[in-house]
Amino acid sequence: MKEVTSYLISYGEILELKYDWSMIVIPYSKHVRQIFLRSGLAKEDTRDTIVNVAKDETNCPGILDKVSWHIKKDFCLNVNPRCTVCPLETVCAKHTNIIIRKG
């Protein structure tokens, strides 16, 4: 799933998210969970799975938080997701039936 992670990080660079993200642990939040699960990056919705996937995929897991927030807000909507224009479109599993309602 490194391909999904590299697309997320590339999108973060486009957004010019300049910060030392290596010191930030990824939160178990609604937007991170939804992006990780819908894209196929994570297979189950547990705190350990989400955090471990982020750690395994990159040495800067914190950037995946901010990028996931942007993708959730702009593309990976609960109703009428905008998959065809999403930066993850070519690498996403598109499990759009997954909707995380609580953070």
Contact 81, 96 (CB under 8 A): yes
The whole-number pLDDT of residue 18 equals 58
Average pLDDT, the chain: 85
* Reported pTM: 0.79
Phi-psi region of 61 (alpha: psi -120 to 50; beta: other; left: phi over 0): alpha
Of the pLDDT bands very low, low, confident and very high (cuts 50, 70, 90), residue 15 is low
Mean pLDDT of 72-100: 95
**Tens of pLDDT along 20-77?**
656 677 889 999 999 999 999 999 999 999 999 998 888 778 788 888 999 999 999 9
Burial environment of residue 8 by CB neighbours within 10 A (0 to 12, 13 to 18, 19 or more): buried
Domain ranges of the chain: 2-85
